[in-house]
Amino acid sequence: MRPISSIVFAFLAAALLLNHCKAAAEWVTCSGIVPMRYRNDKISITDFGGVGDGRTLNTKAFREAIYRIEHLRRRGGTLLYIPPGVYLTESFNLTSHMTLYLARGAVIKATTDTRYWPLIAPLPSYGRGRELPGGRYMSFIHGNGLHDVIITGENGTIDGQGEIWWNMWRRRTLQFTRPNLIEFMNSRGIIVSNVIFKNSPFWNIHPVYCSNVVINYVTILAPADSPNTDGIDPDSSTHVCIEDSYISTGDDLVAVKSGWDEYGIAYGRPSHGITIRRVTGSSPFAGIAIGSETSGGIEDVLAEHINLYNMGVGIHLKTNVGRGGVIRNITVSNVYMQNARKGIKIAGDVGDHPDTNYNPNALPVVKDVTIKDVWGEGVLQSGQIQGLKNSPFTGICLSNINLQGNVGPRNPPWKCSDVSGAAVRVSPWPCSELTSTYQAGSCSNSF
């Protein structure tokens, strides 16, 4: 190489390198779907008689503060400040154009007196409470028909004191379905960020019939043996962005849902446009789950950069006969898992039914599922993909997957039936139902 060309070459190489670094430094995020808003009007819970001594009941203070926000309607909305301290309260409703701001050291704590907990109507896509017939207890913090709501701060805590509810479940003394910690219904333009959620009675964060929801930089904690304490359950909702969070609970970390059986089919409200990115956690159930309530359909889900430790199932797509609904265009990539009973499970026989009136001919459809770039250690069984005889799962595409730690020859690493698709660079080698080359049409939008 002559000196001049080698200088040009070095320059080009440097430029390429620089470009590459720039690309790597760009932080991919979906959080732009709801712009962060800063409020000029600020009030404090203490202005309404709030006392953060951990004993005084602050229900009246919360309800009055929010009533004030709702009725004064200050331009640009109002921020409700919760200073350091422990604020015991009954459940309360939020309103539009507000920020609930928890200072560092602020704790909003649910009362353990469950006798007067308000009951609300069942969700139409469920037809009854999720765990028991009839109505359901209102979530601890609730929002219905709202827009422009932010829950944030300096990592203050929302504590559901769920143990009392878990014990009622264990002793079978519950009368109605347990409350979620936070539920937004029919709402849009929601941000939940920089908050710690602790000991939810039931699911932690439940956006249902919502659009444009951002949940990021949250920490969600509940004991591994706490029943049904799902982390985040986007349900019949669209454009939901879940990022940069740590979740360690007793049930699925993130589970995308859309109602169940005849109620979910009749309501017909899908979940789509769901992004789950940079989530870390631990659970005896699933890391990233789709279902098992999938009757409105679930489409266009992307989950990437997921780190899982001590799991039941790493990635779990689950539905059931009687559910109907189409699960389509699901991509899960860049997953690291350490210690799991099962790496990947896709199954059509999971979950219970609301009642006996479901239509056994309403078969779910599962197609175009891409799972790629997965590394696992201590994974006892690599995978199980079992479709339905009369509705086989199609376009199931696995690539660049390495799941180590399978035990013994009597425990086959993969179990498959009624499934088609492809597998490339998958170890241990999956079942023969998945071909090693892509057929025209299958895996078209993958890799």
Ligand X SMILES: *[C@@H]1O[C@H](CO)[C@@H](O)[C@H](O)[C@H]1NC(C)=O
- In the stretch 22-51, what mask flags binding to ligand X with x, by CB under 6 A? ------------------------------
Query: For ligand X, how many residues bind (rule: CB under 6 A)?
Result: 15
Q: Is position 142 an interface residue for ligand X (rule: CB under 6 A)?
A: yes
Instruction: Give, as ranges, the residues between 184 and 223 that touch ligand X (CB under 6 A).
Output: 194, 217, 219
Query: Nearer to ligand X by C-beta: 308 or 362?
Result: 308
- Residue from 222, 236, 144 nearest 182 by CA: 144
Q: Any idea which residue has 């669209």 for tokens?
A: 238
Q: Alpha carbon of 115 to those of 163, 173, 213: distances in Å?
A: 15, 13, 32
Query: Nearer to ligand X by C-beta: 68 or 415?
Result: 68
Look up 251 and say whether it is catalytic. Answer: yes
Q: Which stretch binds ligand X (CB under 6 A): 34-42, 137-145, 392-400, 433-441?
A: 137-145
Q: Alpha carbon of 175 to those of 22, 163, 180, 315, 364: distances in Å?
A: 57, 16, 15, 33, 31
Q: Any idea which residue has 């444009």 for tokens?
A: 212
* Pair of tokens at residue 87: 């604020």
447 touches 397 (CB < 8 A): yes
In the complex, the smallest distance separating the C-beta of residue 303 from ligand X, rounded to whole angstroms, is: 9
Distance CA 248, CA 269 (A): 29
- In the stretch 247-286, what mask flags binding to ligand X with x, by CB under 6 A? ----------------------------------------
Query: Nearer to ligand X by C-beta: 161 or 333?
Result: 333
Query: Nearer to ligand X by C-beta: 77 or 156?
Result: 156
Among 300, 404, 420, 431, binds ligand X (CB under 6 A): 300
In the complex, the smallest distance separating the C-beta of residue 11 from ligand X, rounded to whole angstroms, is: 37
State the catalytic residue, choosing from 148, 251, 261, 368.
Answer: 251
In the complex, the smallest distance separating the C-beta of residue 413 from ligand X, rounded to whole angstroms, is: 28
| Other Cβ atoms within 10 Å of 186 Cβ, number | 13
Q: What amino acid occupies position 128? A: R
Instruction: Give, as ranges, the residues between 326 and 385 that touch ligand X (CB under 6 A).
Output: 329, 331
Distance CA 224, CA 235 (A): 23
Q: Alpha carbon of 393 to those of 203, 350, 369, 384, 442: distances in Å?
A: 29, 15, 9, 12, 12
- Residue from 403, 433, 429, 405 nearest 421 by CA: 433
Query: Nearer to ligand X by C-beta: 332 or 347?
Result: 332
Residues of the shown chain interacting with ligand X in the complex, contacts defined by CB under 6 A: 93, 120, 138, 142, 144, 154-155, 194, 217, 219, 300, 302, 329, 331, 445
- The residues carrying an active-site annotation are 251
